[in-house]
Amino acid sequence: MEKVYHGIPVSPGIVWGEALVYDPGTINVPRFKIKNPRDEYKRVQSAIDITKEELTLLYQKTLENFGKKQAGIFDAHLMLLEDETILVELKRRIHEELLNAESVLYDIAQKYSKDIKSTGNSFIEERTADVIDVIDRIIRNLLEQKRPDLDNIKKPYILLSVDLPPSETARLHPEKIRAIVLERGSTTSHVAILARSMKIPTIVGVSNLFNSYTAVIKGAAVDAISGILYINPTSDTILKLRQKKIQLSRRFLQYEKRIISHPSQTEDGRRISVLANIELPNEVDDNVKHLSAGIGLYRTEYLFLNKTEPPTEEEQYKEYLYVAKTLNPLPVILRTIDIGGDKLASYTNFIKEQNPQLGCRAVRFCLAHKDFFKIQLRAMLRAAANGNIKIMFPMISSIEELRDVKKILQEVKDELTSEQIPFNKEPEIGIMIEIPAAVLIADELAKECNFFSIGTNDLIQYSLAVDRNNENIAHLYDPAHPSILRMLKMTVSSAIKANIACSICGEMASDPLFTELLIGLGLNSLSMSSVSIPQIRALITKITYTEATEFSEKILKCSSSKEVRSILKERINTKFKNIISIV
């Protein structure tokens, strides 16, 4: 009997065949008292050395097979082995509590897992998963227990699992792994990044999958366009997928031809900039370099996570400068740090909060830690002297906040001037519109900055009071909600009136269902994951701005999400069916 599971497609493709259920195995970690802390720490240091050798080999293999961007993941893992956050805690507990190293490392991993659940931030969750992956590897080396080997798979399979650490994903052979389907993960996870590089169709976020099956499943099919896994698919399902795969191949060739022969503009000549969202410097891939109009959102948080000390000004400067020089003269929008003090507790005086998402995070944290904030601003201004860098502040909720951050920015400029350090004296300054309060005063905020970028992910969560990571209410997270669409229109109208640029950088930007509507609302800049750029750019070339404007006015009169989605789907399946179809 055919069973259907839904998830999030993160690497496109359609395949069918046998499926292998991969269980990485749980570690039975012993807990016992030791007699000699010095000897125990020598033992763990030896395990760390072995782990370092393993990760170095993985780095070299990934560099050789997939390039510097993907290998950079293991650079980060190697850096974690040197990070004092884990090592200091490990040494302290071994000496003070006389506990064996495996149990202490296990406790540290459990603490990381518990801490991230309270944030609701998928970016932080994925980056923290790196720490847990490295700790797991050290523990296994202490116990002399290796992970089940995926290298010896004899024939091609669709791989099903709860999750895959980056270090396991990098070992996969594309000729043996036809597709990946996981219960966990997100579009920004390292598994997703690696899978796209290896061109392995991948779906993540498939609930209640792993415990339902064991060993080998004779029949399975993966539609990583729509995010659907079929177990025991019928012959009719396989036939439909076969036809869709042929259509998909033709469509990607069509995307290439249209992008090469058409600039990024509508049929009636309105220019629409398509930019990329990145989190790491090594995410500047071919789509970003050759198909995008620059970086619309560079999330700088990664530099600050899992450290005992904040990155120095020089470290930040080099990271920002690399991206700016690589893409120059294209713009690079650097967003100042957008996480809370709970993730930086190892080097800040952080007081635990009940709800970090509504607490001291982003600009609020930066204003409360002025010296910390200034270091990042110094690095950004310096890098901006050598590239087209713009600076963006997240989570602005009032005029006072915006003026306060601009005041600190001016102080930093004055300091750099007095120190005779080269920097860009007048970079463009923008803000994220992601709080309902900011939408309602957008006309006033527009007078104080050079551009808006609408962060729909948080705007939807805050407006609809929905935690999209809470599976009990995630269905209520809906970008098609009429209130969200009206807030987009209000924001864009305020930007146009003030003659400043307005873009959108949330997941709505990468969803072709909304592309014509967003253009019709007046947005002329869309920023998204690089994998979505070819499809959206091709679609833009078939849109007429005057028609999109009329269409958006019709949509704004809708009273329900159901009505909005029905009209959007009918529109794209009729007017744009030669470019894309939405089921």
Q: What is the pLDDT of residues 439-449, one digit of tens each?
A: 999 999 999 99
User: Does pLDDT of 61 surpass 90?
Assistant: no
Q: Which H, E and C letters describe 135-193, residue by residue? A: HHHHHHHHHCCCCCCCCCCCCCEEEEECCCCHHHHCCCCCCCEEEEEECCCCCCCHHHH
The residues of the chain that CATH labels 3.20.20.60 are: 251-574
Q: What is the pLDDT of residues 341-355, one digit of tens each?
A: 445 544 455 555 666
pLDDT recorded at residue 346: 47
Cβ-in-10-Å burial (0-12, 13-18, 19+) of 535 comes to buried
Q: What is the pLDDT of residues 227-284, one digit of tens each?
A: 999 999 999 999 999 998 887 777 777 666 677 667 889 999 999 999 998 877 767 7
Widest Cα–Cα separation across the chain: 78
User: Does pLDDT of 483 surpass 70?
Assistant: yes
Region 172-197: mean pLDDT is: 79
> 32 is written with which tokens?
């016992």
> Active-site residue among 77, 173, 190, 502?
190
Task: Quote the percentage of the chain above a pLDDT of 70.
Answer: 84
H helix intervals, 262-312: 286
Question: Is residue 86 within 8 Å of 305, Cβ to Cβ?
Answer: no
Using CA atoms, how far apart are residues 537 and 255, in angstroms rounded to an integer? 8
Region 330-340: mean pLDDT is: 90
- Mapped onto helix, strand or coil, the DSSP state of residue 483 is helix
Question: Is residue 423 within 8 Å of 377, Cβ to Cβ?
Answer: no
CATH number, span 251-574: 3.20.20.60
Question: Considering Cα of 208, then 211, then 212, then 215, what sign does the dihedral take?
Answer: positive
Residues 6+ apart with CB under 8 A from 243: none
User: Does pLDDT of 160 surpass 80?
Assistant: yes
pLDDT recorded at residue 142: 92
Using CA atoms, how far apart are residues 235 and 282, in angstroms rounded to an integer? 42
Residue 146: closest CA among 45, 54, 41, 49: 54
The length of the chain is 583
Mean of pLDDT over the chain: 85
Region 165-174: mean pLDDT is: 73
pLDDT recorded at residue 345: 45
Question: Considering Cα of 240, then 22, then 282, then 115, what sign does the dihedral take?
Answer: positive
Q: Is 481 a catalytic residue?
A: no
Please give the sequence-ordered ranges of beta strands (E in DSSP) within 250-304, or none if there are none. 273-278, 295-299
Higher-confidence position of 384 and 114? 384
User: Does pLDDT of 124 surpass 60?
Assistant: no
Question: Considering Cα of 482, then 484, then 489, then 490, what sign does the dihedral take?
Answer: positive
Q: How many CA atoms lie within 13 A of 421 on its CB side?
A: 16
| pTM of the predicted structure, to 2 decimals | 0.71
pLDDT recorded at residue 5: 92
State the CATH architecture for 37-143. Answer: Orthogonal Bundle (1.10)
User: Does pLDDT of 287 surpass 70?
Assistant: no
Report the DSSP beta bridge partners of residue 271: 265
pLDDT recorded at residue 496: 97
**Other Cβ atoms within 10 Å of 560 Cβ, number:** 11
Q: Return the residue matching tokens 């060993």.
A: 215
pLDDT recorded at residue 468: 65
CA 146 to chain centre: 30
pLDDT recorded at residue 341: 47
Question: Is residue 253 within 8 Å of 276, Cβ to Cβ?
Answer: no
User: Does pLDDT of 484 surpass 60?
Assistant: yes
Residue 279: closest CA among 412, 458, 121: 121
> Active-site residue among 77, 290, 505, 558?
505
Q: Give 132's DSSP letter.
A: H
User: Does pLDDT of 199 surpass 90?
Assistant: no
pLDDT recorded at residue 384: 97
pLDDT recorded at residue 67: 66
Banded pLDDT at 583 (limits 50, 70, 90): very low
Region 93-118: mean pLDDT is: 81
Cβ-in-10-Å burial (0-12, 13-18, 19+) of 143 comes to middle
pLDDT recorded at residue 518: 98
Higher-confidence position of 282 and 100? 100
Cβ-in-10-Å burial (0-12, 13-18, 19+) of 380 comes to buried
pLDDT recorded at residue 68: 66
Q: Is 190 a catalytic residue?
A: yes
Using CA atoms, how far apart are residues 337 and 439, in angstroms rounded to an integer? 21
Banded pLDDT at 371 (limits 50, 70, 90): very high
Q: What type of residue is 347?
A: Y
pLDDT recorded at residue 560: 96
Please state which of the ranges 301-310, 422-431, 432-441 shows the lowest mean pLDDT. 301-310
pLDDT recorded at residue 347: 47
Task: Quote the percentage of the chain above a pLDDT of 90.
Answer: 51
Using CA atoms, how far apart are residues 581 and 247, in angstroms rounded to an integer? 11
The residues of the chain that CATH labels 1.10.274.10 are: 37-143
CATH number, span 3-25+149-236: 3.50.30.10
Banded pLDDT at 291 (limits 50, 70, 90): confident
pLDDT recorded at residue 210: 67
Banded pLDDT at 166 (limits 50, 70, 90): low
Q: What type of residue is 559?
A: S
